[in-house]
Amino acid sequence: MGIRVQELRQHRSPKLRRMLVLGIESSCDETGVALVEARGTAVPVLLADALHSQIEMHQAYGGVVPELASRDHIRRVLPLSEKVLSEGSRPLADVDVVAYTRGPGLAGALLVGAGVACALGAALGKPVLGVHHLEGHLLSPFLSADPPAFPFVALLVSGGHTQLMRVDGVGSYELLGETIDDAAGEAFDKSAKLMGLGYPGGPALSRLAEQGDGAAFKLPRPLLHSGNLDFSFAGLKTAVLVQAGKLGAALEARKADLAASTQAAIVEVLVKKSLAALQATGLERLVVAGGVGANRLLRAELNAACDRRGVRVHYPELALCTDNGAMIAMAAAMRLQAGVQSATRSYAFDVKPRWPLAALSQA
Ligand code: KG4
Ligand code: ZN
């Protein structure tokens, strides 16, 4: 049991002092470290950001190997921390809070970031704060040049999650709908794997889709007319498998068409359900976050549909759609600014491999 010596809690006050947050992300196959500065109640600013992607290492296995991921995070996290401190021109001693991803994610991988963050905090005598990975994604558009304003509907589309949330403020998240089986990113990844496109499938499939016809094959749009805001993508990969089987030797020549048709099916469902969520809540702002938010067709279709309805859409910068340390430092800074959480000098940490985002609102 750690001893809580002192807590750092930032209240909404224009006199709030400057706060430097070091953020560490290690939930899956990217080690990300970033330095964010918060001044008063202004939107925190990103000073430096460094990332090491393990994609190349996992490619040989066709997916993430958790044990290898953890070991690589161990190798990368301190050199990346040194890099951001040097790029941000701040000595380690200036860091006020060390933030880390507490979950959800791979347990071993999370433990690396949590362990290093708490060790740094203990060595510096500075408080630490565990962040929800999806809250990081959700708040990542605040790092863009055009940050959103609350309230908004958020479409969270990552490798492991597909959710629509109503967001009324930092820490105030209401789940409107989510996938009942595979996530949108998983649908991209699994379909790409079936087509022999390698890992990670999303970017590879969407690149190939640019040369194909999205209307070439009729693939299912599950739960499109379900009347609720849930998603289901598991049937799509089966339909892709069946279609690939039917094509047989012709698959190679029609792969771009199959990729484009798969992408069109996923994107149509995401766009229609997002619009339904906007309609159900009466809100006029949409925030898209998570790796699939980098998809060009999704962005184009959402922009067009929202334009027609006078709805503003906000995205993170393309480089900050997939996992990174900036979103973790940012979420920590915003939680402290909003006064919804305290950073603590208790260094006994745990991680939460499974952790629903809506649980944050009940905390
Ligand atoms: O948010 P993220 O980096 O990691 C998780 O928290 O899961 O999302 C990764 C997911 C993967 O499924 C990847 O294939 C997908 O995002 N992705 C894309 C694109 N870029 C990444 N999917 C479709 N189109 C893209 N351009
Ligand atoms: Zn993520």
Question: What is the pLDDT averaged over residues 274-296?
Answer: 97
**Is residue 41 a contact partner of residue 16, using CB atoms and an 8 Å limit?**
yes
pLDDT in tens, 320-330: 999 999 999 99
Percent of the chain that is helix, strand, coil (3-state, to 5): 45, 20, 35
* Closest ligand, as measured to the CA of 267: 1
Angle formed by the axes of helices 296-309 and 201-209, to 10°? 70
Q: Catalogue the E-assigned strands of the chain.
A: 7-8, 19-25, 30-38, 45-53, 97-103, 128-132, 152-157, 162-169, 172-178, 285-289, 312-314, 343-344
Ligand nearest to the CA of 328: 2
DSSP 179: B
* Ligand 2 geometric centre to CA of 29 (Å): 10
Euclidean distance between CA atoms 100 and 328, whole angstroms = 7
Atom of ligand 1 nearest to the CA of 201: 14
Which atom number of ligand 1 is nearest to the Cα of residue 160? Answer: 7
Q: How far is the CA of 197 from the centre of ligand 1 (A)?
A: 14
Strands 30-38 and 45-53: antiparallel
Q: Whose CA is nearest to atom 11 of ligand 1?
A: 159
Give 231's DSSP letter.
B
Cα separation values, 145 from 38, 226, 228, 270, 293, Å: 16, 36, 33, 25, 17
Ligand 1 is surrounded, with C-beta below 6 A, by: 28, 137, 158-160, 185, 188-189, 200-203, 206, 290-292, 294-295, 322-323
- Measured from the Cα of 206, ligand 1's closest atom is 24
Closest ligand 1 atom to the C-alpha of 27? 6
| Residue-level pLDDT at 8 | 45
Question: Distance (Å, rounded) from C-alpha 143 to C-alpha 139?
Answer: 8
Per residue in 15-30, pLDDT (tens digit) is: 557 999 999 999 999 9
Closest atom of ligand 1 to CA, residue 200: 14
pLDDT the model gives residue 198 = 85
CA–CA separation, 233 and 143 (whole Å)? 30
- In the Cβ-directed half-sphere of 167, how many Cα atoms lie within 13 Å? 26
21: three-class secondary structure by DSSP: strand
Cα–Cα distance between 327 and 333 in angstroms, integer? Answer: 10
Ligand with minimal distance to 294 CA? 1
pLDDT value at residue 362: 65
Q: Which atom of ligand 1 is nearest to the CA of 184?
A: 12
322, 328, 354, 355: residue to mutate for ligand 1 pocket, most atoms within 8 A of CB: 322
How far is Cα 14 from Cα 323, in angstroms, rounded to an integer?
Answer: 31
Ligand 1 pocket test, pick from 25, 31, 188 with the greatest ligand atom count within 8 Å of Cβ, gives 188
Using one digit for the tens of pLDDT, what is the confidence trace for 88-139?
Answer: 999 999 999 999 999 999 999 999 999 999 999 999 999 999 999 999 999 9
Could you tell me the two tokens for 100?
């880390």
Contacts 24+ apart (CB under 8 A), 174-178: 174/358, 174/361, 175/356, 175/357, 175/358, 176/229, 176/277, 176/280, 176/281, 177/228, 177/229, 177/230, 177/231, 177/273, 177/277, 178/230, 178/231
Angstrom distance (rounded) from CA 135 to CA 184:
18
CA of 39 to the centre of ligand 1 (A): 32
Residue to mutate, 292, 320, 323, ligand 1, most ligand atoms under 8 Å from C-beta = 292
Q: Average pLDDT, stretch 284-301? A: 97
**145: CA distance to ligand 2 center in Å?**
21
Give the CA count within 13 Å in the CB-facing half-sphere of 149: 4
Residues lining ion ligand 2 (Cβ < 5 A) are 158, 323
Q: Are 170 and 334 a contacting pair, CB within 8 Å?
A: yes
Span 257-272, pLDDT tens digits:
999 999 999 999 999 9
Which residue has a Cα nearest atom 24 of ligand 1?
A: 295
Per-residue model confidence (pLDDT) at position 214: 98
Other Cβ atoms within 10 Å of 227 Cβ, number = 7
Q: Whose CA is nearest to atom 7 of ligand 1?
A: 159
152 has a pLDDT exceeding 50: yes
- List pLDDT tens digits, range 207-239: 999 999 999 999 999 999 999 999 999 999 999
Residue 199, pLDDT above cutoff 70: yes
Residue with token string 């060390």: 98
Q: Where are the alpha helices (DSSP H) in 12-165?
A: 55-59, 66-87, 107-124, 133-139
At 11, the pLDDT band (50, 70, 90 cuts) reads very low
Residue 363 pLDDT exceeds 90:
no
Question: Considering only CA atoms, which residue is closest to atom 6 of ligand 1?
Answer: 158
CA atoms within 13 A on the CB side of 174: 12
Rounded to whole angstroms, how far apart are CA atoms 217 and 237?
A: 13
- The structure's pTM equals 0.93
Residue 200: predicted pLDDT:
87
Question: How far is ligand 1, taken at its centre, from the CA of residue 58, in Å?
Answer: 15
What pLDDT score was predicted for residue 361? 82
Q: Average of pLDDT values for 62-83?
A: 97
Distance of CA 118 to the CA centre of its chain: 23
Count the neighbouring beta carbons within 10 Å of the beta carbon of residue 338.
Answer: 16
Does position 6 have pLDDT exceeding 80, yes or no? no
